[in-house]
Amino acid sequence: MLVHVSAIAALGATCGAWILLQRRIARVDPNAPGVRRHCGACEGTCGETLDSRGPSA
């Protein structure tokens, strides 16, 4: 049972580390491929939607 709990904890730590890494990459290099800013994904007040920017956004 302890092995299973350890495995789940390790998977959770790995996912958390991956999220932190992605946030750091987005902060350090905002022009990196795959980093989307102001795309309407946040449902913010900018008025843009994912469809309004087209597939090349």
Condensed to tens digits (0 to 9), the pLDDT of residues 1-57 reads 999 999 999 999 999 999 999 888 888 877 767 666 655 556 656 655 555 555 554
pLDDT of amino acid 2: 94
Q: Are 49 and 38 in contact (CB under 8 A)?
A: no
* pTM greater than 0.75: no
d(CA 15, CA 21): 10
Q: What is the pLDDT of residue 47?
A: 59
Residue written as token pair 């920017």 = 53
Tell me the C-alpha distance between 50 and 36, whole Å: 10
Tally Cβ neighbours within 10 Å of residue 40.
16
d(CA 11, CA 8): 5
